A = this chain, B = another copy of it.
Amino acid sequence: MRKAFEVTVLGTSSATPTKYRHPSAHYVRLEGSYLLFDCGEGAQRQLSRYGLRTQRISHIFITHLHGDHYFGLPGLITSMALFGRTEPLIIVGPPSLKSIIYVLLTESDSVLPYELIFQSTQTDFVETVVETDQFSVVSVPLKHRVPCTGFMIHEKGPERRLNVDACVHYRVPMEQFDSIKMGADFISSKLGVVSNELLTTPGYKNRTYAYITDTIFDPDYLVPLLNGVELLYHEATFLHERAARAAETHHSTALQAAQVAKMAGVGRLMIGHFSARYNEAEPLLVEAKTVFEDTVEAVEGQTFVVGQTAV
């Protein structure tokens, strides 16, 4: 069975919560790993409301220090402590985040029962910030009003499936099965090199989820990076009739998000980070679909499978 790789949306508003929306936060489940991207005010309550596994979150990624992307982080950190967390928590974000969190913890006289590990992002170049057996995460500097990075989460694992009959036929020792699955050829003492294609069948392609917020419309830079991504979340703060306002505030319109998606040939586009002026996201969705048909609206509490498309 294909590995789980899915995104649950916890917040869809920009700048400020509204009666109907929470600020940014995306919960990602990747086959036994749980990650959080941004942590707007109320994220901890959203996690609990949707029955998600808060204590299993191993990494939290913060794009930038506008409040709607991290004012929920101090509360989440202290609640994890109150509920007895002992596993370390890795926080990846702008350099000042560490001192901010430590000041808040010091003032509340809090000693956490678990280790907080901070890892700083920078905005000079694209960089791998986390690498595990299951996935890697790359930070992508974005053009916004303050230092900001998006993130791309790459699934890792075998892209080929073992053809067990063929392996028996060529007498491949079992201890080599893992490397064969990862694409290695087999060196037989009798036959020489046995090509990987003879020992495996095509499997699933490793998928990528890109979390791109907040950013000005920036296709020349973003399109090559996002090329072929299975699921792209791209902010769409405004309708295109407000393109000037979007540029001024270093945000994007729904149309621009769709243009990036189309040029990059992504599998599916998810739009969110809607301005409080839009009670309904429907017009933003309609606008994006005029350019890129497989666009979905980020809806709080909904889960999107990475790699699933309308077709």
Contact = CB atoms under 8 A, between A and B. Distances in A.
Contact of A107 (B41, B82, B100): B100
A190 to B, nearest CB: 64
Contact of A78 (B16, B75, B94, B146): B16
A71 B82 contact: no
Given A16-B82, A48-B18, A104 B109 contact: no
A17 interface: yes
A189 interface: no
B67 A71 contact: no
In the assembly, how many copies of this chain are there?
2
Given A100-B104, A100-B107, A109-B145, A44 B17 contact: yes
B109 A146 contact: yes
A299 interface: no
B19 A104 contact: no
B104 A67 contact: yes
A44 to B, nearest CB: 6
A18 B47 CA distance: 10
A45 B104 CA distance: 22
A191 interface: no
A102 B71 CA distance: 14
A107 B49 CA distance: 30
Interface residues of A, number: 36
B65 A108 contact: yes
A45 B42 contact: yes
Interface in A138-185: 145-146
A48 B78 CA distance: 25
Contact of A44 (B16, B49, B94): B16
Given A42-B45, A71-B74, A107 B96 contact: yes
A63 to B, nearest CB: 12
Interface in A76-110: 78-79, 82-83, 94, 96, 99-100, 103-104, 107-109
Interface of A: 15-19, 22-23, 41-42, 44-45, 48-49, 65-68, 71-72, 74-75, 78-79, 82-83, 94, 96, 99-100, 103-104, 107-109, 145-146
Given A15-B79, A41-B72, 16 more contacts: A16-B78, A16-B82, A17-B45, A17-B75, A17-B79, A19-B45, A19-B49, A23-B75, A41-B44, A41-B75, A42-B42, A42-B45, A65-B104, A67-B78, A68-B75, A94-B107
